[in-house]
Structure 1
């Protein structure tokens, strides 16, 4: 069990017109930066099991609460959360620490941001580790539009965009229950049900499966979202079609070495064409659900450290 007081103390770092709450360890390992990017609805604290292992392996570990989360800035404009702003924050974070490039690790939405960062600022990324979410191919139809056609108006990505504020209010009202019900593992399989899944989770009285973390750990997430509300983090979803447009003219191929870690029981689908867009990728599957680095911390650490060791000997890709 992890003691939340063992996590590094944060500092507020001015970047790209906002401030990010940044948790840092291993500054004595300057020169080997690795940046860990959380997903939704998470927090830098979701990397608590990785920070000590990466620091011990000789890395300068930088873990931001990205904009919209924790004590980082929460701009009011929805468009302030598009991929240009989110990747720009990470570039500015490298500038703050004086690094030309770094290895970036992302889970869930953090993986989407890291993939996008690598496309938009390829010279600032020397390697990519993605957990759960593979590279998202940019098809001919904007992402939300495509999801709406296939999955319908109640799919939560679509609902967040088409009914702004509705889910936000429910999640804000039931923050502790929603997070308790969401951060679960080993849930029994259930047939799809009508309705909006995230709203249903926030209202469900009984959680399914087993908790991913201790009550003390969960309290860190609950406290953060009780303070911020959910709108600023949900605004990331409200930029998906804008992101689709912003990525229209970039080279879609990731040239850097990459590691893709899937949860074998994750609802997020594997990519069948990953190597077409990420040719230098290694793929690992772990026996877990969506919350990979929290469900299987030791196995996650082993996979990342072994890959870092192999990737360090390769020539840097520049374009």
Structure 2
């Protein structure tokens, strides 16, 4: 899968053709719009199990608003490199890719937007390379406070061995294989909205979703949009993306000596129905943050594309006017 225009997806939204860019020892598949707006960059970072295409609704509007929009498939995804070593997916490597991407374009800094794992990476980037980030927009995943014990150990103690973060680490390869048994069924079942509340079931919740015969709720995207994701993951498998989870304790150690305060202006967008926990003390670590909530689940920019785009554009305009 190389490019996604109307002829490929049946959509009216044209998604840019990609280029492959060598950065930080890997090659990233990068989609761009608004090159005529050079000097005003904004970088959109997807989550798991996602793809640059998850920003398809935001790209045209941001380009029209005067931004050079840069949308990488991060390492492990799409036609970007998928290194074999698990440790090649830690926060130093992932943030280093984004720094090298700025270097490629000759930018000192940029505004970074991240959803899900992409938000975690952008928060980490702001800590590790604060001079390269002039603003942060995070969707779903807030700043994660670095507690006294490593994150996976903490999750295992509080949420148990079946919690998917823990399972990915303690039973490497098991979930990957289940997801790949039927990539279409897994992604069809996962990308849902308006899912009715249900009692938690035993086992890894994502494996349960992958094996469910009937999806719950309503689809987040149409069949042709879903086909882009299915085709990408049928090609790559899921291990590259899952390796991000398998570095979470390593990330905890790597961030030990870093100033934990994000000093850049930030926008935090929550989904009211998202299962990801909100950060109670967000302003303690992100003092210059604006928080908004949208009536949606986890796939915020795809469930509420217009509202998400408007929120980002309004925040950007207010920053520019300040």
Question: Aligning the two structures, in what range does the TM-score lie when normalised by the shorter sequence?
Answer: over 0.9
Secondary structure of the residue aligned to 2:246 is helix
Task: Identify the residue that residue 45 of structure 1 maps to in structure 2.
Answer: 53
Q: CA RMSD in A?
A: 1.0
Residue 28 of structure 1, aligned match among 17, 32, 36 = 36
Q: Could you tell me how far 1:4 is from its partner in structure 2?
A: 7.4
Q: How many equivalent pairs are there?
A: 314
1:203 equivalent in alignment to 2:211: yes
1:14 is matched with 22
Equivalent residue for 1:228? 236
Which residue, out of 291, 310, 314, partners 1:302?
Answer: 310
Question: What per-residue deviation string (whole Å, max 9, x for no partner) do you get for residues 103-159 of structure 1?
Answer: 000000000000000000000000000000000000001000000000000000000
Q: How does 1:106-255 map to 2 (within 5 A)?
A: 106-255=114-263
Deviation at 1:313, TM superposition (A): 3.6
1:273 CA displacement: 0.2
Is the 1:4–1:217 Cα contact (8 Å) retained in structure 2?
no
Deviation at 1:198, TM superposition (A): 1.0
Match of 1:256 in 2: 264
Q: Distance in 2 between matches of 1:232 and 1:60?
A: 28
SS in 2 for 1:103: strand
Report deviation, 1:300: 0.3
CA distance in 1, matches of 2:278, 2:174: 30
Are 1:274 and 2:282 counterparts?
A: yes
Report SS of the residue matched to 1:89.
helix
Cα distance change of structure 1 residues 55 and 2 upon mapping to structure 2, 3 Å threshold: farther
Distance 1:112 1:24 in 2: 22
Per the normalisation by structure 1, the TM-score is: 0.97
Distance 1:166 1:231, change over 3 A: same
Match of 1:74 among 69, 82, 85: 82
